């Protein structure tokens, strides 16, 4: 079975790779498309590297728009010539959903993994999404109901992170894996997986870290870098601060830490599934934020808070994300640690999302093809 795939970021690369590996155990699969290292490792022939899609925000996309449109045109040409049995995409909805619409028009089953955040903003997209897709695999239990009445096939599969992550592990084992001291106070700092995010957020996070070190000179930072290129960029900015810049191992870094400071996104869910007190902070281009803010339909934007239906973790967005505010919120997380109430909410989220995610997805995809 020949399939086309497209992933737009690190998490999508990991999710699709897991699904493809399971699907390959059930049927003979020949995949090609837009792939990161995980998909390539799962046997995908990379027509384009995933990194060329890794950009967020409205204003941030504009300089890259000609390249992105060119890639999409070439992917459409590939679909027209190869006529795969399905197009399976994950994340990057602004790029992937129009591509899926073209696939559907060609009679190629259009299957997307990870619902766009219609629960948070731009709910008016739902009818259009339903027209662009044949099937949607949802990671969260509240999402299929959002598409009821549209005719779109949906399936809640759970989240692969909950399957891979043990809840609230002892930090000593992770510290041993990272070859750092088993004692001491550690703060995991995750400024994002894209260069644009890192360049925008890392100086902010480092300024907050400098304030925290004034309060606790023994505090040590841990920053996992998604790629070797990012590791070099991060290390240059970190300088001589007491921070270890590590190659990957984001989950191990979180598990080793006493608290986590991160950019809002999938990492926030990962930190909660790990059972670590977390602070989320994020900034985008001012015009991007104005556009997003005008279309928000929820008071919370991080998934842990949406699932817990309570402000489980502090969210510091845009102008509220100052070094002082971030430092204060993070200091509170470090001082209070994982309280029983926090662990109850986080544990409930882990339980709801766990299960045989890849098998559910592979079975559903087979039924759609």
Distance CA 87, CA 73 (A): 15
Instruction: Kindly report, residue by residue over 102-139, the tens digit of the pLDDT.
Output: 999 999 999 999 999 887 667 889 999 999 999 999 99
Q: Is 193 left (phi over 0), alpha (psi -120 to 50) or beta?
A: alpha
Tell me: do 316 and 363 sit in the same domain. no
Residues 48 and 105 occupy one common structural domain: yes
Q: Which domain holds residue 32?
A: 2-158+355-368
What does the pLDDT look like over 24-37, one tens digit per residue? Answer: 999 999 999 999 99
Question: Do 263 and 213 sit in the same domain of this protein?
Answer: yes
- Give pLDDT tens digits along the chain (369 positions): 999 999 988 888 999 999 999 999 999 999 999 999 999 999 999 999 998 776 544 445 566 678 889 999 999 999 999 999 999 999 889 899 999 999 999 999 999 999 998 876 678 899 999 999 999 999 999 999 999 999 999 999 999 889 889 999 999 999 999 999 999 999 999 998 778 889 889 999 999 999 999 999 999 999 999 889 899 999 999 999 999 999 988 999 999 999 999 997 788 999 999 999 999 998 876 666 666 665 665 667 788 998 988 889 999 988 899 999 999 999 999 999 999 999 999 999 999 999 999 999 999 999 998
Cα–Cα distance between 112 and 20 in angstroms, integer? Answer: 13
Can you tell me the distance from the alpha carbon of 240 to that of 117, in angstroms, rounded to the nearest whole number?
39
Q: What is the pLDDT of residue 291?
A: 61
Residue 289 has a pLDDT of: 61
* Pairwise CA distance, residues 177 & 89, whole Å: 34
Considering the domain architecture, whether residues 188 and 335 belong to the same structural domain is answered as yes
210's CB contacts (< 8 A; 6+ apart) are 241, 323
Q: At a CB cut-off of 8 Å and minimum separation 6, what does 185 contact?
A: 216, 218, 219, 220, 258, 334
Same domain as 205, residue 132: no
Number of structural domains found in the chain: 2
Whether 178 and 136 share a structural domain: no
Is residue 205 located within the same domain as residue 81?
A: no
**What pLDDT, on a 0 to 100 scale, did the predictor assign at position 63?**
63
Same domain, 327 and 345: yes
Residues 168 and 138 in one domain: no
Instruction: Give the list of residues 6+ apart from residue 186 with CB closer than 8 angstroms, or none.
Output: 171, 175, 180, 219, 220, 221, 222, 256, 257, 258
The reported pLDDT for the residue numbered 59 is 45
My answer on whether 110 and 59 are in the same domain is yes
For residue 39, the domain's CATH number is 3.40.50.2000
For residues 267 and 343, state if they share a domain.
yes
Domain shared by 20 and 64, yes or no: yes
């Amino acid at each position: 079975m020949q399939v086309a795939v497209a992933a737009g970021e690190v998490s999508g690369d990991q999710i699709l790779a897991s699904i493809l590996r399971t699907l390959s155990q059930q049927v003979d699969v020949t995949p090609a498309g837009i792939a990161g290292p995980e998909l390539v490792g799962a046997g995908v022939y990379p027509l384009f590297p995933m990194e060329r899609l890794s950009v967020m925000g409205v204003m941030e996309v504009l300089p890259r728009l000609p390249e992105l449109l060119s890639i999409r045109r070439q992917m459409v040409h590939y679909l027209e010539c190869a006529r795969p049995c399905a197009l399976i995409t994950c994340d990057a909805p602004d790029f992937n959903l129009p591509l899926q619409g073209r696939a559907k028009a060609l009679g190629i089953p259009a299957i997307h993994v990870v619902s766009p955040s219609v629960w948070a903003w731009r709910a008016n997209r739902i009818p259009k999404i339903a027209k662009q897709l044949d099937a949607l695999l949802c990671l969260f239990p509240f999402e299929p109901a959002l598409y009821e009445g549209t005719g779109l096939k949906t399936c809640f599969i759970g989240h692969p992170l909950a399957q891979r992550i043990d809840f609230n592990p002892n930090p000593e084992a992770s510290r041993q894996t990272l070859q750092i001291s088993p004692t001491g106070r550690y703060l995991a700092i995750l400024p994002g997986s894209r260069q644009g995010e890192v360049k925008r957020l890392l100086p902010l996070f480092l300024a907050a870290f400098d304030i925290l070190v004034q309060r606790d000179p023994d505090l040590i930072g841990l920053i996992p870098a998604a790629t070797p290129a990012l590791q070099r960029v991060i290390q240059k900015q970190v300088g001589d601060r007491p921070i270890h810049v590590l190659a990957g191992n984001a989950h191990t870094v979180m598990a080793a830490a006493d608290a986590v400071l991160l950019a809002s996104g999938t990492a926030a869910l990962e930190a909660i599934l790990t059972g670590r007190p977390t602070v989320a902070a994020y900034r985008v281009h001012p015009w991007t934020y104005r556009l997003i803010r005008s279309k928000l339909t929820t008071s919370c934007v991080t998934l842990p808070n949406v699932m817990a239906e309570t402000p489980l973790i502090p969210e510091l967005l845009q102008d509220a994300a100052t070094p002082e505010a971030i430092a204060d919120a993070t200091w509170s997380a470090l001082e209070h640690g994982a309280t029983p109430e926090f662990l109850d909410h986080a544990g409930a989220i882990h339980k709801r999302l766990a299960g045989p995610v890849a098998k559910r997805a592979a079975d559903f995809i087979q039924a759609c093809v």
